[in-house]
Chain A
Amino acid sequence: MEFSDRYKKLNSKKNKYSWSETRDAWLFTGIGVVLFLVFVLYPQVKNFYMAFTEYNILPGQPSKFIGLDNFRTMFFSDGALGESKYFWVAFKNSLWAVIVTVPGQLILGVMLATIIHNLTRGRLLYKILLYIPVISSWIVVSVLFKYIFQDTKGSLVNYALIQANLIDTPIAWLQNATTANIVIWALCIWKGVGWVMIIYTAALQSVPKSMYEVAKIEGANAFQTFFKITIPLLKETTIYSIVQLTIGAFGIMIQVIMITGGGPMGKTETLNSYMYSQAFSQFKFGYASAVSIVMGIVVIGITLIQRRAFKEGQ
């Protein structure tokens, strides 16, 4: 039995790839594979190499191999010229962005999805309206938020806060690191909530109604039903959303460049925007590559941990 199975396997392997099929397959996939290799995979690999050099962008000019120097500068350099303090600020800001915006978007998005799911009319309209921030351009909404949070009395947020008697004098939102970060987070949450809402309304539709009916007969209240039935059943959606939102929060960049320009004093820089400015404003390509490697490791690590947690919980 075992032998014959093996024989079959061998035999099928021999005949598996016909020449004409292989040729056609490469005609179909070849261009894509080449483009991917040249412009995606090779740059990813090259990034690793660049991280260990003082990279010279001029074609034909040699780049100096400097070992771990870029990483040393990033993590440990100190003194007046110490770059590491800027790196750590950016690192901290990226982590805070994850800590604040991921739960912010998730909780609000799930709440909205649950409400919409229980509506008897108007579902489609609300979904369309709430999704508009998601599809609109980051550049446009960043400019918009910069305007809404201007430091004058007449800006939308200050005006509303003054009218509500919460503050007396207008807040200079973008002049201070903490409040400027709040503006950046607010933008992320505002723009991302609709995405979570759509993901969850689709998922909620797949939860069998009969389960809710049973719960109702058993006398469960709305909260019990939500936490005992809805949440456990939507676990897969939740993990997927958290992974996506985390990657998104680590990707924060346009907001910083458009709203604060990294200021004041680099205090709102995130890993991504820091990497970008190191490369294309300071022209430290090798160092920027090292930053991107660290960031890639952090993001992949978090993604794997979250996937793991999900598998173990299953």
Chain B
Amino acid sequence: MKKKKIAMQLVLQVLLIGASILAIMPFLYMLATALTKDTYTMPNPPILIPKEFYTGNFVSAWTSNSFSRYFVNSLFVSLVTMVLTLAISTASAYGFAKLRFRGKNVIFNVYLFSMMIPAVLALVSQYTVLNGLNLIDTYRGLILLYISGGVAGNTYFLKGFIEQLPNDYEESVMIDGGSRFTVFSRIILPLCRPSIATLAILSFMGTWDEFFAALTIIKTASKRTLPIAIRLFQGQNATQWGLVFAAALIALIPILIIYITFQKYFIKETDDGGVKG
């Protein structure tokens, strides 16, 4: 019986190792190609383990085509979007969770309904709105679009959490003469820290990778963000895969660092099954 169990575990392990290889191998292949010097023609057989550690592709990817500039642009747009998203979403969520005002339910239901419609469908008309406001080709326009697109979902996400917090704190602060802003900054925000952290990570990663709005709104070459740059890079250096992949990997690094550091926010891992049951 015990032997059978061990054999079973072994089979499962082998299956998962296979699946993990399938998930990871394309990235390793990309890395191996990026570390290879001459990639004008496709090597045959494909290089899975780099024969050399040629870092020239990374150096020229970073220095050529203003790539480093695009990296900084992306960082700027993502960070500003993240900070403003957090400020607006936490305040909104507190308002909808704890305060009573006329029209609250109507507005919130419109939020919920809007979440059913795929965001990209409105891009054409959003473009015309930004065009009317003279915000095409500005970071202001792009960032406004990012923040607004997240308002409904983020408010919904945080509201659920804030609603669960007891009202006792709030009442005691108000009795002591504090305002709702004191309640918000001294009590709600600190208690929401884990949810806010999750939102911060998701917001940053979402903005960092966003492609279509950036492609549509930003026209000036020097204002481009990384996903756009990679696409153009691939167009310009069609057969120079080593260079393209070096650029792609540079774009992937921040995401991987965030993911590995905060993996508990992505992957729920309780120590044992059935604890909740």
Contacts and interface: CB of A to CB of B under 8 A. Distances in A.
Interface of A: 16-17, 21-22, 24-26, 28-29, 31-33, 35-36, 38-44, 46-47, 50, 55, 57, 59, 112, 115-120, 122-124, 126-133, 135-141, 143-148, 150, 152-156, 159, 190, 193-194, 198, 201-202, 204-210, 247, 250-251, 253-254, 258, 272, 275-276, 279-280, 285, 288-289, 292-293, 295-296, 299-300, 303
B234 interface: yes
Given A29-B95, A47-B125, A136 B255 contact: yes
Q: Is the interface of A mostly helix, strand, loop or mixed?
A: helix
Contact of A159 (B45, B181, B263): B45
B117 interface: yes
Given A22-B102, A40-B114, A154-B42, A119 B124 contact: no
A32 B91 contact: yes
B91 A59 contact: no
B274 A205 contact: yes
Contacts of A155: 42, 46
B91 A31 contact: yes
A279 B123 CA distance: 10
Interface stretch (B49-57, B61-69, B144-152, B191-199): B144-152
Contacts of B276: 205-206
A194 B100 CA distance: 41
Nearest to B121: A292
Nearest to B8: A118
Given A137-B255, A154-B44, A247-B118, A46 B23 contact: no
A115 B11 CA distance: 10
Contact of A144 (B22, B101, B111, B248): B248
Interface string B197-230: 0000000010011011000100000000001001
B149 to A, nearest CB: 6
B122 A28 contact: no
Q: Is the interface of B mostly helix, strand, loop or mixed?
A: helix
Contacts of B252: 136-137, 140
A194 B22 CA distance: 11
Interface of B: 9, 12-13, 15-16, 19-20, 22-24, 26-27, 29-30, 33, 42-46, 88-89, 91-92, 94-96, 99-102, 104, 107, 110-111, 114, 116-118, 120-129, 131-132, 144-145, 147-149, 151-152, 155, 179-181, 184, 205, 208-209, 211-212, 216, 227, 230-231, 234, 241, 244-245, 248-249, 251-252, 255-256, 259-260, 263, 266-270, 273-277
Given A124-B269, A190-B22, A285-B128, A208 B277 contact: yes
Contact of A44 (B46, B92, B114): B114
A206 B20 contact: no
Contacts of A17: 100-102
A145 B107 CA distance: 43
A150 B184 CA distance: 55
A36 B131 CA distance: 17
Contacts of B251: 137, 139-140
A154 B20 contact: no
B16 A143 contact: no
Contacts of A25: 95, 99-101, 104
A206 B148 CA distance: 35
A106 B107 CA distance: 34
A26 B96 CA distance: 10
Instruction: State the 3 A-B residue pairs at the shortest beta-carbon distance, nearest first.
Output: A208-B277, A154-B44, A209-B274
Given A43-B129, A55-B128, A126-B19, 10 more contacts: A36-B152, A39-B126, A40-B149, A130-B20, A140-B249, A144-B27, A202-B268, A247-B118, A285-B124, A299-B118
Contacts of A57: 128, 131
A296 B100 contact: no
Contacts of A272: 120
B13 A32 contact: no
A138 B209 CA distance: 7
Contacts of A202: 268
Contacts of A251: 118, 120
A130 to B, nearest CB: 5
B88 A253 contact: no
21 contacts: A17-B102, A25-B95, A26-B101, A28-B94, A32-B92, A33-B151, A35-B88, A35-B151, A57-B131, A126-B16, A127-B267, A137-B252, A144-B29, A144-B248, A148-B29, A159-B45, A159-B46, A275-B121, A279-B124, A289-B125, A295-B121
